[in-house]
A and B are shown apart, each in its own frame.
Chain A
């Protein structure tokens, strides 16, 4: 079975929220050890897709398999790490106390806390209350929580929002190192210049996948000069198609 090798396998996924269908039959196959960028405008269904993969989204129909098991299976909870779009950490605890709590639940080594603090460059504020930190620092605490232990799949919803370019570069190097070690990463972003750092790109708009390709393949098929340009051309093509039909 070729399918059993996929880190994430989705067939005809449909999701409704408040009577509106927000994902219209998504098909997707994510190879293991890849960094996949999930790009697209906000409201396009990026977060909903990621939530369905993590197994916290009520889905209408379709199949979502993660690491060979149905999404949301109990056995996946220590193998899949998730960073939500909001910074889901406790404001009234210090950085270290937040991470120590998540570590205790995961049951991994205590030294993991220091490792992820270093990886996200939070050493200087490790003992500060999260509510005193800047937006970028808070989102790094949230990311650090997802890095604890050794998850096989990392689902990160906008992990680099509000970070300075130097730190963003460092985090992407960390993502690449993880992927080189066999970890699969799904990273959503609306910063197009991050797209070039991914192995594959998923362009999501209005609940449909516009493109699922390598960055190079995307530029080639659209004739765009960069990812942003390629995306614009795809949208243009999609809207003229619709007009042609009607």
Chain B
């Protein structure tokens, strides 16, 4: 299918860009943790906020790993609707994380980006994995 020539690299680029953005935030968490805390805070509060962001970022990396796994294994590489959804969601999430980085948003904003940009395409990817591997069907 001619569309795959565009969709596959687009999806790969969007996934990689999202991964790079997440790793960048992972290495420079402090401003975001501070942004989600009041002016004066206890070390425990800092640790809790840091853990919250770490969990959110870890979840994103895990979901990205799931998608990349499905993508490289060939389960969803030649599935245009999934490629379209995944490329759009991860492209949008990358843009949102650009804002997150430059505007120093707090941890709370990350969950929204996670929900729309990672959970949605990962859920459909999981569905595809179940259908293809579990039910032994070639296509959904």
| B and A form one assembly | no
CB within 8 Å of A: which residues of B?
A: none
